[in-house]
Amino acid sequence: MRSASAFLTVVFITVGSVSGQCGGNGANAGLSTTPFVINSTLSVGVSGNPTEAFWVFVSSANAVLPVPGLGTVCIDVNSPLFSVVLAGIVPAAGNILFPVPIPNDPGLLVGAAFVQGVVNDAGFPGGIGLTQAYRVDFEAADSYLDLPVMSEPRALSSANLLPDGRVLIAGGGGGSFLVPIPSGTSNIYDPYTRTTNVGPTMTVARAFHTATTLDDGRVLLCGGVDAVAGTVTATCEIYDPATNSFAATASMTTARAAHTATLLQDGRVLVTGGTSLFLGTIGQILNASTASAAIWSPTTGMWTATANAMSSPRFQAAATRLNDGRVLITSGISGATSLFGVDIPTLTSSANYFTPASNSFSAAPSVPNAVVGHRTSILPNGNVFLSGGAQSVPLGAPTTGNATAIFNGSSWSSGPNLPDAVALHGQVVLQNGDLHIFGGLTGTLTATSASTSASRFDGTTLTTLNSLPVARGTSVHALLKSGTILIAGGADVLGVAVDAMWLYTPLP
């Protein structure tokens, strides 16, 4: 078994400036942190096999170094700051947390440090595990930082956290909620270098698609509006971070856009609803909405229809996996009616459970108000929090609302109102289980603006936070391993797609 001294010897010999990935070497060796916020207590976690020794190193510079037989070392051991900051033995629980008080010193907001851990792993080739590496930039709480822009503006795109901590941002383009314009390009954000890089091109251009991170770290992208104006695709493809490439996989049983996709506990992927058409009148688009669903198997790479359909067609519904493994699918647009030649969207308040064991849907309690473009998330106690969305209005297009609701497993109850009426907004489950809610479209689904609002829900109280730097709707986001949030793209108050990205640091 290699020791820490042997590890350092190897690193000193191989110091260079070769770029690489900094997500660890695959051994049972973990390093985690909460956000780096001044005037707070940082929590650093180390995990590994019980009774194995560990070390956490810090450096003032990164030097991404592929070491044969070891993996990628991402800190510069020749830096004057290089040192061991934590060391010990992994306890029987397999993990240990260290509280680190951070002073209220504005001087910490300048400069960066880089940390990576080493955990002995007798069962891993070479005996040494490398952890995820982190860039340490102390930030003020509830603050936004401008990041390098993407290669093109993106609205109705997707963002997925990769195993090594980077983020894949794919598809999306210009257009609007009812006239999306697809793109086949992608970007990859690297939090370790805080750079936004051009990614590979997808096999099919997409907007209003779904992207699901699989258990093995790959990303399954399906459906959406493709490069042919108004055409909805059934095609799917998989992004593999190991090869940095997209490859086609089996198509869905039905073309879908504005559908949902949910990773099941057994590793399969459930897709539900959506529309098969984005060409023609509003009524034609919405009446092409479907109640059907299908399941993708990572074992076979094939799709199979579910045992039955949902109780209603659903365009832009919300789906959340419950703690018992079932999936709760709520509301959405079920079609449209024509009144004096004007197409009026029809919303459904119905909800369904999907049970993986039987591959079937059953009725769930209806939501208090029929909505579309709403968000749902699991709270730490297992309840489901629903926020925002557009609601029906007499003789008009659905209009955004600020209502929230909480589902306790048997019934819905009203929650606190959001600070702004929004739909297609961001809603992120933070490391501690609180929800960060931000941005979104405002107005009607046919004449939208965007919101700067932001708030935090702790399961009881909703608190208004600092506003976004600029109003943003239909953006995408990813919770990074450091506990900060990447916010990418979206549309501005005029409905124009943007290429901007921010890093948000939440309150402790």
Q: Select, from the ranges 204-218, 381-395, 439-453, the one with the highest average predicted confidence (pLDDT).
A: 204-218
Least confident of 236-245, 272-281, 322-331: 272-281
Identical fold at 4-136 and 367-474?
no
Residues 229, 207: Cα–Cα separation, whole Å: 11
Band of pLDDT at residue 398, cut at 50, 70 and 90: confident
Please state the rounded mean pLDDT for residues 31-49: 94
Q: Residue 14's pLDDT is what? A: 34
Domain 4-136 in CATH 2.60.120.10: no
β-bridge partners, 404: 387
Q: Would the pLDDT of 446 be above 80? A: no
State residue 395's pLDDT score. Answer: 63
Summarize the confidence of residues 376-390 as an average pLDDT. 98
Residue ranges covered by each domain of the chain = 4-136, 147-215+475-508, 367-474
Predicted pLDDT of residue 277: 93
- Please tell me the distance from the alpha carbon of residue 198 to that of residue 78, in angstroms, as a whole number: 31
Q: Which two tokens stand for residue 72?
A: 């990628």
| H-helix or E-strand spanning residue 8 | helix 4-13
Question: Quick one: average pLDDT of 436-465?
Answer: 94
Of residues 376 and 105, more confidently modeled = 376
pTM: 0.94
Domain 367-474 fold is Neuraminidase (2.120.10)
pLDDT for residue 11: 41
Specify which residues 160 forms β-bridges with.
168
CA distance 454 to 464: 6
* Cβ-contact 239, 246 below 8 angstroms: yes
pLDDT grade, residue 190 (50/70/90)?
Answer: very high
3-state secondary structure 444-495: ECCEEEECCCEEEECCCCEEECCCCCCCCECCEEEECCCCCEEEECCECCCC
- In 3-state terms, what secondary structure has residue 12? helix
Residue 6 has a pLDDT of 46
What DSSP assignment string belongs to 85-122? EEEEE--TTSEEEEEEEE---GGGGSS-EEEEEEEE-T
Q: How confident is the model at residue 52 (pLDDT cuts 50, 70, 90)?
A: very high
Whole-number Cα distances in Å, 327 to 207, 219, 242, 273, 415: 24, 20, 30, 14, 21
What pLDDT is recorded for position 47? 97
Mean pLDDT throughout 207-228? 95
